[in-house]
Structure 1
Amino acid sequence: MGHYGGMHFIWWILGFIIFIFIFRKPFYSRYQKKQNPLDILKTRFANGELSKEKFEESKKIINADINLNP
């Protein structure tokens, strides 16, 4: 037969699965949306991690930093 009872086919499938597993992370991370600092701040405020005063203070700092570094 020469195919060792189908093991040749199994090794090709296993190699393909390993190949996909190794190279999938860089492709997925390339297309993920990156959050800007203001989005992160809004999320933390919505989750109740920040008070309204701290949110407003942090928002002013972030907006000032964005205006200084276009």
Structure 2
Amino acid sequence: MMYWYGSGMSGWAYALMTISMILFWGLIIASAVVVGRRLLRDEPLPTGAPSTPEDVLAMRLARGEIDEDDYERRMATLRAREIAGPR
């Protein structure tokens, strides 16, 4: 008959198991909190690019990339194309 070396796990093994279990459950709980907060936000998630050319121009004006005169000129061009229809 074979005998095992020692009587089982040592105190260090129990300590390592306890610490790893606490870290595991902490990670699970933290992930659930982050996902819950993201899903329950009131503000909409960013969708990326603006949806219309007018929105793009408004964003560029707000960022200071174009001035008001350039904005008005480009908006007039967009409106004229809407009236004339696509080419």
With normalisation by structure 2, the TM-score equals: 0.39
Determine which structure has the larger helix proportion and give its number.
Answer: 1
Larger RCO of the pair (alpha carbons < 8 Å, separation 6+)? 1
With normalisation by structure 1, the TM-score equals: 0.48
Q: Which has the larger radius of gyration?
A: 2
